[in-house]
Structure 1
Amino acid sequence: MAQDFVVLHGWDVGGQKNWDFPSSKFCPLGEYGALADINQAIRLDPTLPQPLINRTAIWRAKNHLDRAIADGSEAIRLAKDKPPVNIMTPPNSVLISAYTHRALAYEAKGDYARAKDDYNATLAIVASDAGSKANQATAKVRLSLVSDAAAPIPRDAPSQMTPVPQQTGAASQPSPAPAIRGTRMALVIGNGAYAHVKALPNPPNDARAVAKSLRDIGFIVSEGVDLDRAAMQKMTRDFLREAARAQLALVYYAGHGVQIDGRNYLIPVDVELKAGGSMTEAMIEMDTIMAGLDDQVRTNILIFDACRNNPMAQQVASAGSSRGIEGTSGLAAPSSLGSGATLGAGTLIAFATAPGQVALDGEGANSPFSAALSRHLGTPGLEVQQMLTRVRAEVVSATKNKQVPWSNSSLLGEVYLAEK
């Protein structure tokens, strides 16, 4: 299987050097070429915090958490003692990055108290650039997850996991056992039994089909159908918490989706869309999922079989069998999301339809998109972006050009969901 990759960036204090290290994840220590480059950078100038931050991320990806914490602590000290003076380095960006990376290391170790302190420190600093805002978006989500973590999971003695049985009822399944490094995990949700907008018959079928395809190729799947707000929020938060220990995280959602003020939301089955109300508080914001996964130590694949319209123009669904609430069509660019979340390195996001279109529910048991996706997920030796190209071609053909799936990728290497 091809290696996944992450790119680590940073400027030195004088702005004269740019440390840019493409580094493969989950490799043996001796084969970690980027680590040798970063070690050399630190030897050349041990007063620069950015190479230490980069090494913090590498140690965390390799599960050397004490080393990650030590490097993160030194980076914080240096960033405070010697803040950037060059205009090319945004104010506070290095310090925000250092706190975020050390917090992630503390969280991975199970030291939630110190992780919370660092996440709070990250959020207390004024952010002036997109990268810092992305780090703060991640810190905000991770802080909420560690704050309500009832039972910390020891990293030294993880449980063995078995795939969750396929769901047959209209509710969420219990969360799977704690993940271990190297695990591939998936969150699969299909919402169709809406109480206040037009029901969709196929999303539960779509979710079950996709979940089965993923289990067949070795994914640990958390699966839910027809989830209300409380159940959907809990399942999402549980998944984000466990995915911190996975090598690859995949999210699939089928159901109604909306775009409001440039942000994308997934809609639980009990949401009542009313103009003038705080309806977004009852939805699941896509930015939250992306920010919760954007810690640069795994491959993330997010797939949404939903349209993203503005429901404010009309409070009920249109009469057609589409997965949107009638309104102004549009799609928020995943590279510049409203909350500061970004399409981080190692992430692929796919929508069942292109911007300005609606995703069809289909006339059969499954949507055109999920039917094609389920057929190709388990194809041995098929790279994920090639797989999505095949899915796109089938959907365009099946819908007679009415629906064109769309994707955006920051993957830095080939990713295979099924073994060659």
Structure 2
Amino acid sequence: MGFGMLRKLFWCCVILVLADPAAAIDRVKGDANPAIAAASEAIRRDPKDANAYYNRGNAYAASGDTDRAIADYTTTIRFDPAHVNAYYNRGNGYSSKGDTDRAIADYTATIRLDPAYANAYYNRGNAYSNKGNTDRAIADYTEAVRLQPANANAYFNRGNAYGNKGDADRAIADYTETIRVDPTYANAYVNRGLAYEKRGDFAKARADFNATLGLTQSATRWALDKARERLSALPRPRPATILVEKAGVPPSVAAPGVANGDRRIALVIGNSAYENVAALPNPVRDASLVADVLRLTGFEAVTLLTDLRKDALVNALREFAARAETADWAVVYYAGHGMEVGGINYLIPTDARIAADREIGFEAVPVDQVLNAAERARKLRLVILDACRDNPFAAQMKRTMTMASRSVSRGLAPLEPEAGTLVVYAAKDGETALDGDGTNSPFATAFVKNLPTPGLEVRRLFDFVRDDVMEATGRRQKPFSYGSISGRQDFYFVAGK
């Protein structure tokens, strides 16, 4: 898609709605005639009553008679030159008639009388946008959001303006702010998706377009149609695989901190670009970060896989199981969606379609398969699941199983793995983990922070991780460990100095 097309797409959904405070036009949905009659009687009694003209102007505006509304606001200003709302509402009238220059003049007069009038900056920004004066529009939107930080439209329109200037980074940042203020703002998801697509970040683009399709109650027809159009045009996601090996180099040479020359291997999976539900922003980044840290702490082989469909996920586990037969340590880290149905935990591949709970076994991969993939390692089997997020299919899943668990929409069920296997959840069973507002999830951040600490035994390591996550999330998320490993041996990612 060329940049010219992107410019057009940015503008086809610009919000140019006029912002009106309660003190301005009282938009009566009923008959405005009684208000007009009452204001006219007040004017008959006192032809210099500025407020009476102002009120009648509001009534005319509510009835759709813009010309008479403008005339009354003009008379208001003649009798009361400091009547700030009369300037503002007359500016709205001129704007609705397409008289942009006069609208700008009136918004400017409003701001002169009241420099904190946020909506005047916002509407003047819209007027400048209509004139093609992008820099002045951006300046006004910036002042509007400074004065009114919850003005989602101002963030959105400023994002459009930055997009038209070719500044994709700032456009994306503003669409993100729009969504933070109003998570149902479908056009912001679409425009951010278009910006990501222009940059070649197809996973994030797909996530935003899928998120749009989930907002059927608030999305415009344009937003839904555009999301479907772009999803069909995006290249299909493919697993990204990185195998990091230090072939022929003894672990003790590659990383002096590795104890006993143990052969360590790891499978690291991050699923972000879900095809049928909203994508997750962090798992791919989390997996990449974890893979890097494992490699640096002396793992002989680290296989990093991202955005796995079911067949690819099953194959990855099968191949890892074969490699684990000759390993001392086998570590699996998974970040992405997971759920529990009928007391069984599942990892959700990116191509899953789950319309009813009975379909889970056909569409997802049981966690038991993950445990089986690691069980052949001789000393330590460690499975880490940052998969306790809200069930994305909960709203659409039909309940058919009489034994379906209470926690179909909340986290995972507890596990009792075989002795010698340790399973770590990012959040305790039945609870949900946070994806985080930053580049990485709270759990991944705490894990990679503590993992390289010399002399930190693995059980103690996850105590540190738990404390850091609880502190970072205000105790809303508590990681939890299940199973047991040999009490006769200590396990260190990095041996003590």
Query: TM-score category by the smaller chain?
Result: 0.5 to 0.7
Match of 2:352 in 1: 271
Larger radius of gyration: 2
Q: Secondary structure at the match of 1:239?
A: helix
CA distance in 2, matches of 1:176, 1:398: 31
- 1:216 is aligned to 296
Residue type at the aligned position of 1:218: G
State the match for 1:282 in structure 2. Answer: 363
**Aligned match of 1:372:** 446
User: RCO greater where, 1 or 2, for CA within 8 Å and sep 6 or more?
Assistant: 1
The equivalent residue for 2:455 is 381
Is residue 2:327 matched to residue 1:259? Answer: no
Q: Give per-residue Cα distances to partners, 1:95-137, cap 9 Å, x unaligned.
A: xxxxxxxxxxxxxxxxxxxxxxxxxxxxxxxxxxxxxxxxxxx
Matched letter for residue 230 of structure 1: D
Residue among 317, 331, 353 paired with 2:427: 353
Matching of residue 231 in structure 1 with residue 231 in structure 2: no
**Equivalent pair of 2:411/2:427 in contact (CA under 8 Å):** no
Kindly indicate whether the alpha-carbon contact (under 8 Å) linking 2:411 and 2:433 is maintained by their aligned counterparts in 1: no
Q: Whole-Å Cα distance in 2 between the matches of residues 170 and 375 of structure 1?
A: 30
Residue 447 (structure 2) pairs with residue 404 (structure 1): no
Post-superposition shift, 1:201?
0.3
Partner-residue secondary structure (3-state), 1:246: coil
Mark the runs of 5 or more structure 1 residues left unpaired by the alignment: 1-168, 317-325, 336-342
Three-state SS of the structure 1 residue aligned to 2:444 is helix
Q: Is residue 205 from structure 1 mapped to residue 205 from structure 2 by the alignment?
A: no
Counterpart CA distance in 1 for 2:387 and 2:468 is 17
Give, in whole Å, the separation in 1 of the partners of 2:377 and 2:268.
Answer: 22
CA contact (8 A) 1:274 1:315 kept: yes
Contact kept in structure 1, 2:338 and 2:391, CA below 8 Å: no
Q: Superposed, which structure 2 residues align to 1:323-334 within 5 Å?
A: 327-329=408-410, 331-334=412-415
Distance (whole Å) between structure 1 residues aligned to residue 318 and residue 345 of structure 2: 17
Query: 1:416 matched to which residue of 2?
Result: 492
In structure 2, distance between residues paired with 1:282 and 1:387: 34
> Residue 173 of structure 1 aligns with which residue?
241
**CA displacement, residues 265-285 of structure 1 (integer Å, 9 cap, x when unaligned):** 111111112116533222121
Q: What SS does structure 2 have at the residue aligned with 1:414?
A: coil
Equivalents in 1 of 2:263, 2:377: separation in Å? 16
5+ residue gaps in structure 2?
A: 1-236, 251-260, 398-406
Show CA shifts across 1:282-308 (max 9, x none). Answer: 212111121343347331011000117
Of 217-226 and 409-418, more deviation after overlay is shown by 409-418
The alpha-carbon distance between structure 1 residues 274 and 223, as it changes in their structure 2 partners (threshold 3 A), is: same
| Distance change >3 Å, CA 196–CA 302, structure 1 → 2 | same
Helix, strand or coil for the counterpart of 1:186? Answer: strand
Alpha-carbon distance between aligned partners in 2 of 1:375 and 1:229, rounded to the nearest angstrom: 31
Distance (whole Å) between structure 2 residues aligned to residue 366 and residue 416 of structure 1:
24
Provide the secondary structure at the position in 2 that maps to 1:192.
Answer: coil
**Displacement of 1:312:** 6.8
2:469 corresponds to: 395
- The correspondence of residues 79-158 of structure 1 with structure 2, limited to 5 A, is none
SS in 1 for 2:268: strand
**Structure 1 pair 416/207, CA: closer, same or farther in 2 (3 Å)?**
same
Contact 1:257 1:308 survives alignment (8 Å): yes
Task: Report Cα offsets for 1:64-89 as digits up to 9, x if no partner.
Answer: xxxxxxxxxxxxxxxxxxxxxxxxxx
1:327 is displaced (CA, Å) by 4.3
- For 2:336 and 2:279, the matched residues in 1 are separated by 9
When you count strand as a share of all residues, which structure comes out higher?
1
Deviations 1:322-365 (A, max 9, x none): xxxx9443543321xxxxxxx22221110000122101000000
Residue 32 of structure 2 corresponds to none
- In structure 2, relative to structure 1, the CA distance for the partners of 1:286 and 1:368 (3 Å cut) is same
Q: Distance in 1 between matches of 2:373 and 2:308?
A: 20
Code of the residue aligned with 1:210 in structure 2: it is V
Aligned residue for 1:278, secondary structure, equals helix
TM-score by length of 1: 0.52
Distance 1:309 1:202, change over 3 A: closer
Instruction: Report the Cα offset of residue 376 of structure 1.
Output: 1.0
Q: Give the TM-score of the pair, scaled to structure 2.
A: 0.44
Q: 1:304 aligns to what SS in structure 2?
A: strand
5 Å-filtered alignment, 1:294-373, equals: 294-295=375-376, 297-307=378-388, 313-315=394-396, 327-329=408-410, 331-335=412-416, 343-373=417-447
AA at the equivalent of 2:332: V
Q: Partner amino acid for 2:448? A: S
Question: Aligned equivalents of 2:238 and 2:391: distance in 1?
Answer: 27
Please give the alpha-carbon distance, in whole angstroms, between the structure 1 residues aligned to 2:465 and 2:314. Answer: 29
In 2, are the aligned partners of 1:175 and 1:238 still within 8 Å (CA)? Answer: no
Cα pair 1:296 1:344 within 8 Å, conserved: no
Whole-angstrom distance in 1 between the partners of 2:280 and 2:391: 18
Give the whole-Å Cα distance in 2 for the aligned partners of 1:398 and 1:192: 22
| 8 Å CA contact retained: 1:170, 1:224 | no
The CA distance in 2 between the partners of 1:419 and 1:233, in whole Å, is 33
Instruction: Point out the structure with the larger helix share.
Output: 2
Q: Deviations over 1:375-415 (max 9, x none)?
A: 11111111111111111111101111110000123111311
Is 2:324–2:376's contact at 8 Å kept on the other side of the alignment?
no
Distance 1:248 1:309 in 2: 31
CA shift for structure 1 position 315: 2.4
